[in-house]
Amino acid sequence: MSLKLLGKNTVIYAIGNIGTRAAAFLLIPLYIHALSMADFGLLATLQVTIRIIAVLIGGGMRTALVRFAKEYETKGCLSALLGTSIAVNLLSSVVISAVALWLFRPLFESILHTSDVYAYVALSCGAALAHAMNIHITSYFRARQQAIRFMIVGIATAALLFVLTFLLIYVFPFGVSGALVAFILANAIVFLGVCACVSWKIGMRISGSLMPKLFRFGVPQICSQCTELVVASVGVYLLSYYAGLEAVAVYSLGYKLALILVITTISPFSLAFEPYVFSNRERLDHKTLIARSLTYMVLAVVFVSFGLLVATRILLPKIAPPEYASAFLVVLLLIPGMTFMGVCYFGQTILNAMNRTRVIGIASLITAGFSFVTNFALINYFHWYGAVLSFNASFILFGLILTMIALKRSSITLERRRLIYLVFLFLSLMLTLFALREFPIIRFLVIGLLAVVLGMLLLLQYDFFHKDEKLVVRQLAARFCSKFGGLACRHIA
């Protein structure tokens, strides 16, 4: 698997991610206008809870499936790997749901501000199970490097979610409960359909002897994935406790918009990078290609961040009432932490390839503790600003720990000069857009575009790009001009 294929799969995953999440973002205006501000804050808090429970139910099996798929396919045991990992998820769901419904009820009563706590938590557990199972079964396509099928399944889930949510909170106004039921139905229907197709093709069986191996690999993955959610969710819970659901609504809207950077760039990179690293461990140029891949991700983040902020500045007044105006600043300030999520995935993938999952678990626990302490210390005094500061600091810490350990253990040398250029460009753009945030939209757009053009010229001036990269760009440009230029000529003729 070459960098060219890595890039191709990243683009496919990006298209799939955009399609998958398009429904979620199209639903934001519907949520905002169909629900009160307090109900939107309640739904946002429950969505965070669903993500946490889904990770616990998942048990790290999604990463285990991708990691061991090639090995077990060679042995002719892929059906056992898939069936056993699904069984682990189902067993985990029983335990986690019982704990959430009985032991953590007082916690939910204090942060949800509603009398229907038991019903909402039960629906959240059902939504988490459906979501975890859907993600797991579609990871089979990632493991087989079938990016297009992964994309199709994701888009189908999103389309179904949009239709069901529209029906259950707009046509039939069931409110927050309707949104949760729609989420359960959309994920469950797609899971059952894909599971039937995959099991018909390769079969599915449960191996008791395989369970301990999957547990040993998966438990540290839970720590890592939960750390991401702790960093994102503790702020929401403490905001609800100290400042109320209205503050959660503003922060959550900004967080959802900032996630576009993850959806379009960072997550596709991670989805393509994991199988790329796992299948290329024996190549002589493997370390050089890994170092380059991080540079490419950061380069993409720089320019996608600019596009995201411009789009948010233009569209936010059109999709949300004036009381959500400060969500733009939330988006801008969250981008550094979102960027370091990609650095976390980079270091974590390298450590997984070397089976150093315990290192990931320890680093995750350290980061989770740091996030809890900083959120608790900052949110009471600075509200959502404190949540943003803690989010950024936690992901920067987590990314640096994982990547530094991974580089030391693997002897990979990063392209430091090029990364320094990109960091300088990134900070310059962020500071420019921060300074322009109160400007009229036309000035904001024009000055911002000039800053981006200047940044690109500086990269070209200081020979940022290698010769082979320039050659690839010229070849792609020539193909583009040949194809679309020819089409234009035929159309004119």
Asked whether residue 361 is domain-assigned, the answer is yes
Asked whether residue 55 is domain-assigned, the answer is yes
Tokens read off for 413: 């040398």
Asked whether residue 479 is domain-assigned, the answer is no
State the pLDDT at residue 1.
46
Tokens read off for 169: 């909170």
Q: Which helix (H) or strand (E) holds 427?
A: helix 416-435
State the pLDDT at residue 260.
85
Asked whether residue 426 is domain-assigned, the answer is no
Return averaged pLDDT per consecutive 10 residues of the chain, 493 residues in all: 57 63 71 80 83 83 77 79 85 84 72 76 89 85 74 83 88 86 92 87 81 76 69 78 81 87 83 72 67 88 89 85 86 92 88 79 84 87 88 92 89 86 89 87 86 82 74 67 54 43
Distance, CA of 310 to chain centre: 21
Asked whether residue 337 is domain-assigned, the answer is yes
Asked whether residue 448 is domain-assigned, the answer is no
State the pLDDT at residue 491.
45
Number of structural domains in the chain:
1
State the pLDDT at residue 457.
83
Task: Specify whether the CB–CB gap between 376 and 431 falls below 8 A.
Answer: no
Residue span of the structural domain in which 306 resides: 3-414
Asked whether residue 50 is domain-assigned, the answer is yes
State the pLDDT at residue 358.
78
Asked whether residue 491 is domain-assigned, the answer is no
Which residue, 296, 295, 291, 270, is CA-closest to 412? 291
End-to-end CA distance of the chain: 42
- Dihedral over Cα of 99, 105, 111, 113: its sign: positive
